[in-house]
Amino acid sequence: MNSKTDRKCLTIILAAGEGKRMASDLPKVLHPVAGLAMVGHVMETAKSAGAEAIAVVVGNQAERVSKAVEDYDPSSTSHIQHERLGTGHAVLAAQDAITDEFDDVVVLNGDVPLIRASTIESARAELNEGADIVVLGFRTADPTGYGRMITEGKNLLAIREHKDATDEERKITFCNSGIMAFRREIMVDVLKAIGNDNTQGEYYLTDAAEVARQKGLEVIASEVPEDETLGVNDRVQLAEVEHIWQQRRRHDLMLSGVSMTAPHTVIFHHDTVVERDAVLEPNLVFGPDVRIAKGATIRSFSHLEGAQVGEGAIVGPFARLRPGTVMGPKARAGNFVEIKAGLVAAGAKINHLSYIGDAEVGAEANIGAGTITCNYDGFGKHKTKIGDGAFIGTNTSLVAPVSIGTNANTAAGSVIYEDVPSDALAIERGKQANLEGKAKVLRERNQARKLATRSTKDA
């Protein structure tokens, strides 16, 4: 039996904490990793692991967190923990969601974004094999502060919070991750039997293991890699989690056929798509909504967001592609080129020092260095259309709205503010005048001024 398809699963995500150590006005679970709020990562993983429903327990800035949760997944529900009485109490805040349509209930934490879907699936498989509760644990060299997993073989006898543990129990390095999976039928009764006789006076979710054992239920411990269980309590830990997430994505992309010569210098957004045989040079940043097609090359020190790069296209070095940019197959955007809301058709070249905004560049067109589309008049944006095969001379200013016809040319240094027909050459610049001897006069005058200034300073 496949746990992901044959058993119905509810996932409860705990996201009510205040996160004071983040020193931020933003709720902790909304701090981003790879551009997506931590709670969003957890929700994404839950869905990948087969959750049919997601219930998020909110508390601190409940309305703000609930809105973010709803934006990410409108089918999810939010449940307010009005009092902070511990993690066991928090789970019961979502009791209304624990209905008999579910077989499994998985409890995740909104500030633990690195847990893998395969790990959750494995825990659910244990439920399918007969376990009543599965608790995920990890081993660490420094267990200080973590709840200790007291086991006998695979069986979990109890979880002892650090503050309540004996000296002998504190020597245990197998620690509680806070992630648990329950057989739904027993869950509520177990949670309601948890007491608060501890140093904090709280209802610990971790006590569910011991309560369940007392009821004769099967509770097992499942070991997972430590990095999957890392929680975020401050900005330092947030950076550590970001680092691990980026390492994972680089690793996966390289195994899928993407080349990176210095992978540790490439930063991805959570939704970046890079197809096989693409080449990513060092020092790149990908913002949201970027897609790189197969065989494309992104050269060093480029920044892309909201952009699509076609098959075999070349971007950079030192290029910036802004939202709405589409680079066609084998198109080029070279060094110090910025493109915003630009459609650059197949084979078109914008090789250096240009700004192309709100524009269409036709197939095989060539845009000379220093070309700019003057798309904004202080009130609105206007469109520039450059036809197939057009040649735009160096330092041309295209004052939108304006169209350059198929195979048309513009002379270097022109300011083009009227449409140019196909196959026409447009020239707009003042007539050159050579003033004989004028350079010598200016030079001698400037030298005299310089000497006079120096004499005044020396006096």
Strand order of the sheet with strand 366-367? 259-260, 279-280, 297-298, 314-315, 332-335, 349-352, 366-367, 391-392, 409-410, 425-426
* 344's tokens: 């650059």
pLDDT at 1 over 60: no
Q: Both 352 and 367 in a single domain?
A: yes
pLDDT at 5 over 60: no
Interval 350-387: pLDDT, tens: 999 999 999 999 999 999 999 999 999 999 999 999 99
pLDDT of residue 455: 78
Choosing from 174, 197, 229, the residue where a domain stops is: 229
Q: Both 56 and 153 in a single domain?
A: yes
pLDDT at 458 over 80: no
Q: Residue 452: inside a domain, yes or no? A: no
For residue 3, name the pLDDT band (cuts at 50, 70, 90).
very low
* 307's tokens: 């952009």
Q: Residue 209: inside a domain, yes or no? A: yes
| 3-class SS of residue 100 | coil
For residue 139, name the pLDDT band (cuts at 50, 70, 90).
very high
What b/e sequence results for 105-115 when a residue is b if at least 16 CB atoms lie within 10 Å of its CB, and e otherwise?
bbbbbbbbbbb
The average confidence (pLDDT) of the chain is: 95
Average pLDDT (108-133) is 97
Q: Residue 350: inside a domain, yes or no? A: yes
What's the half-sphere exposure (Cβ side, CA atoms, 13 Å) at 102?
28
For residue 4, name the pLDDT band (cuts at 50, 70, 90).
very low
pLDDT at 306 over 60: yes
With beta carbons less than 8 A apart as the criterion, state whether 371 and 388 touch.
no
Interval 153-207: pLDDT, tens: 999 998 988 888 899 999 999 999 999 999 999 999 999 999 988 778 889 898 9
Q: Structural domain tally of the chain?
A: 2
With beta carbons less than 8 A apart as the criterion, state whether 249 and 114 touch.
no
82: annotated active-site residue: no
The active-site residue out of 41, 89, 303, 352 is: 352
pLDDT of residue 161: 86
Instruction: Classify strands 148-152 and 155-160 as parallel, antiparallel or unpaired.
Output: antiparallel
| Residue 135 main-chain phi, psi, to 5 deg | -115, 130
Q: Residue 21: inside a domain, yes or no? A: yes
Q: Both 152 and 272 in a single domain?
A: no
**Secondary structure in 3-state letters for 253-306:** HHHCCCEECCHHHEECCCCCEECCCCEECCCEEECCCCEECCCCEECCCCEECC
Interval 28-46: pLDDT, tens: 999 999 999 999 999 999 9
For residue 84, name the pLDDT band (cuts at 50, 70, 90).
confident
Q: Both 291 and 166 in a single domain?
A: no
Q: Both 174 and 241 in a single domain?
A: no
Q: Both 177 and 298 in a single domain?
A: no
pLDDT of residue 459: 67
- Residue, of 96 and 60, whose pLDDT is higher: 96
Helix then strand then coil, in percent of the chain rounded to 5, is 30, 30, 45
Q: Residue 377: inside a domain, yes or no? A: yes
Q: Both 153 and 276 in a single domain?
A: no
Interval 209-240: pLDDT, tens: 999 999 999 999 999 999 999 999 999 999 99
Average pLDDT (405-434) is 94
Q: Residue 172: inside a domain, yes or no? A: yes
Choosing from 229, 246, 263, the residue where a domain stops is: 229
Q: Which CATH number covers residue 418?
A: 2.160.10.10
pLDDT of residue 43: 98
Nearest to 185 by CA among 215, 156, 165: 215
pLDDT at 7 over 80: yes
pLDDT at 450 over 60: yes
Q: Which helix (H) or strand (E) holds 236?
A: helix 235-255
Q: Which CATH number covers residue 197?
A: 3.90.550.10
